[in-house]
Amino acid sequence: MANLKEVKQRITSVTSTQQITKAMKMVSAAKLRRAQDKIVQMRPFSQKLTAVLNNVSASAEGSADLVYAQKREVRKVLFIPVTSDKGLCGAFNSNVIKATQAAIRENFSQAEVTIMPVGRKSMDFFKKSRYEIKGAHAQMFQDLTVDAVWNAANEVMDAFVAGEFDQVFLVFNEFKNVATQIIRTEQFLPMSPMETTEAVTTETDYILEPSREFIIQELVPKALRVQFYKAVLESNASEHGARMTAMDKATENAGELLKELKLMYNRTRQAAITNEILEIVAGANALGGK
């Protein structure tokens, strides 16, 4: 049985850890509120833009103007795994990394694969792998701005147009609620009709100025940037939700461990007191026997 000093040190250590995890939970809860507000406001805009783009570009399918929709023989593929900069968020980062590896293994084992990590955790993992690393966006979440995300999206789009990659995929956590994040692997390029929640049964008759071709040239790149930005915002909200859940569970586990340690401490202290009493009684009996 551990002595009283060791048990007391463990109680102090677990109490300190519990205070840290509780504070981290509160910080993540505050950050989650802001991140959740951003993605909730972003989704309707993204869905409406997607619906308009699908409608406008339908009649121009196959046009040379749709450079981001050109399908080529798949030889070079770019994966963009979106993770966090920090850990202590459960399986949030490992799920993205595993999904990326599974997609490569199942569909592109013979292709030339390049990784563009977004988030320090994906950078730390994939820089040790056999894949080529592209871009310097590992610390994007330290200063998450629209300009930073759009610059990354522009870099990918320019590389696709230049023929550096034949397909581009985004791998990220989609935010559902605090306790649930859904792994998504979405094809970013070449663009295809995107999913929309709007129930559109007939084609909407838009009046386009100055021309359909000009609108497509302006709208398609913006829609792709918005798609990229939405994936990053989804991941940002998911990260704080995952960390909040993980820290809440860690705080609960620390509380359970403290109960066990305090019970052990009381038992050890009681055993020590009992031994001292027995020694005193034995000594008194020995003296009385003389």
Question: What are the CA-CA distances from residue 81 to residues 150, 190, 230, 284 (Å)?
Answer: 16, 17, 14, 75
The per-residue pLDDT for range 89-138, each reduced to its tens digit, is 999 999 999 999 999 999 998 999 999 999 999 999 999 998 999 987 88
Pick the catalytic residue: 77, 89, 171, 261?
89
Q: Tell me how crowded residue 248 is: count the other CB atoms within 10 A of its CB.
A: 18
**Structure token pair of residue 145:** 């701005």
Q: Is 217 a known active-site residue?
A: no
- 18-32, 212-226, 230-244, 254-268: least confident range: 212-226
| Residue 194 phi, psi dihedral angles, 5° rounding | -85, 155
pTM of the model: 0.84
pLDDT digits 0-9 by tens, 138-163:
888 888 889 999 999 999 999 999 99
Six-digit token string for 92: 């949030």
Asked if the model's pLDDT at residue 286 lies above 50, the reply is yes
User: Which pLDDT score, from 0 to 100, does residue 4 have?
Assistant: 84
Residue with the two structure tokens 């990659």: 165
pLDDT of amino acid 112: 95
Position with higher pLDDT, 267 vs 101: 101
Specify the CATH class of 21-192+204-247 in words.
alpha beta
pLDDT attached to residue 261: 93
Give domain limits for the chain: 21-192+204-247
